[in-house]
Amino acid sequence: MTATVREWLPWGVLSHEAVRETLEQAVAQWSGQWFTAPYAGVAGVRATMAEPRPEGDGTGWRVYRTAVAVRAGRAALSRLVNRALDLGADALDPTPADLRIMAGLEDKILEALAETVERALGVAGRTRPVPEKPENPLGDDGGVVVSLAEPSGREVMTLAVPGEAIFRHLKASLERPAEKAARLRPLAEALAEVRISLEARIGKVELTLAELDELAVGDVLVLDTRLDEAVDIAGLASHDVFAKAVLTHTEDGFALMFNQ
Domain boundaries, the chain: 4-173, 192-258
Residue 214's pLDDT is 83
Looking at residues 107-131, what average pLDDT do you find?
Answer: 89
Name the range with the highest mean pLDDT among 152-156, 177-181, 229-233, 242-246. Answer: 152-156
The reported pLDDT for the residue numbered 115 is: 92
Mean pLDDT lowest among 14-18, 79-83, 126-130, 231-235 = 14-18
Least confident residue range of 46-55, 84-93, 150-159: 84-93
pTM score, whole prediction: 0.60
For the domain covering 4-173, report its CATH number: 3.40.1550.10
Q: What is the mean pLDDT of residues 209-217?
A: 83
- Is residue 129's pLDDT more than 50? yes
Question: For the residues of the chain, what is the DSSP string, one character each?
Answer: --SGGGTTS-GGGGG-HHHHHHHHHHHHHHHHHH-SS---EEEEEEEESSPPPPPTTS--EEE-SSS-EEE--HHHHHHHHHHHTT--TTS----HHHHHHHHHHHHHHHHHHHHHHHHHTT------SS-B--S-TTGGG-EEEEEEE-TTS-EEEEEEEEHHHHHHHHHHHSPPPPPPPPPPPPHHHHHTT----EEEE-------HHHHHH--TT-----SS-TTS-EEEEETTT--EEEEEEEEEETTEEEEEE--
Q: Which of 54-68, 150-164, 238-252 has the highest mean pLDDT?
A: 150-164
Indicate if the pLDDT at residue 180 is higher than 60.
yes
pLDDT on residue 7: 44
- Tell me which fold the domain 192-258 belongs to: Surface presentation of antigens (SPOA) (2.30.330)
